[in-house]
Chains A and B, each alone.
Chain A
Amino acid sequence: MKSGTERDPAMLFIVAWLVLIALTGISIWSAFLGLGMYAPVVQFGIAATQASIVFVLFMRLKGPPSLKWIFAGSGFFWLTFLYGLSFTDYATRQGWPQHF
């Protein structure tokens, strides 16, 4: 940067963009399929896939320096604590959620 590192070819980014757009189309389509409680699983699964593509390719996580992975991963690492501990609290409350 100079990063001193080779950039990926433009064609790789264009293909990644096409995949992102296609996945968005699938996500929208899934919303009308009547998947019930599985709909958010599918849609957020697609979103996680799209975000991974953006992180790894567009944000160049796949390139050096590898120390980036520690920095990028730390946010998600601490997020697992936030989600894990907080959902454990709610999931162990009696009568939550009401509709189950």
Chain B
Amino acid sequence: MLSRTIAPEIQYADLSQQGETAQLGMWVFITTETLFFGALLFTYFLYRISYPHEFAIAAKDAVLWCGSINIGLIMTSSLTMVLAINAAAEGRRRALIWWLIGTAFLGLGFLGVKGYEYHLDFNDRVVPVINFVMKPGEGPASELFWVFYWVATGLHAIHMTIGICLVLYMLLWRVRRGEITRAYYAPLEVVGLYWSFVDTVWIFLFPAIYLVGRA
């Protein structure tokens, strides 16, 4: 079992300072992401307030069970990720590996369900520009809902894909090479921050997309 002695980079006094700097760097990135997705949600609120009835009718076609399974998967993946970090902090390498594998699988499961949902959406002809048919009772603004749906879920899926790649990088490179140790696990914690942020984005997309017009 590999377990390297990690020395801080030359600009840091110790590993603790290096770790905190890495963590703050990820928080700066998350700040930009907050504004990015926040602006996207602003357009959603704007259009929903402007066209409440069209949005309610259009959103009924969103596949609730897919969205519900996915919020369960992504929340569970946040749990497994944080348990992986705990395992790293306690030096439990085997548990760390299994929690990371679980996180990656839950992330892949999310994308799998999302992919199947996209397939259902395509068959339901709710893909603006490419394959869209206005249904009875819908107005032109209904298409706006689906534009938001595809842009928001597409961007989120890209973020998820990046997250899965980062988890696999941790698993197959950093952990395997013994670079994630009880003494220094900052890279894993930084990936965990990103992963949980992507979780919070879905937490807001879920009611915006799947819970509209159900009553």
Contacts and interface: CB of A to CB of B under 8 A. Distances in A.
Interface of A: 1-4, 7-8, 10, 13-14, 16-17, 20-21, 24, 27-28, 30-36, 39-40, 43-44, 46-47, 50-51, 54-55, 57-60, 65, 67-68, 71-72, 74-76, 78-79, 82-83, 86, 90, 96-99
B78 A47 contact: no
Interface of B: 15-16, 19-20, 22-24, 27-28, 30-35, 38-39, 42, 46, 48-50, 52-53, 64, 68, 71-72, 75-76, 78-79, 81-83, 85-86, 89-90, 182-186, 189, 192-193, 196-197, 199-200, 203-204, 206-208, 210-212, 214-215
B75 A3 contact: no
Given A14-B79, A54-B199, A96-B50, A4 B16 contact: yes
Nearest to B214: A31
Chain B: interface secondary structure?
helix
Chain A: interface secondary structure?
helix
B202 to A, nearest CB: 10
B185 A43 contact: no
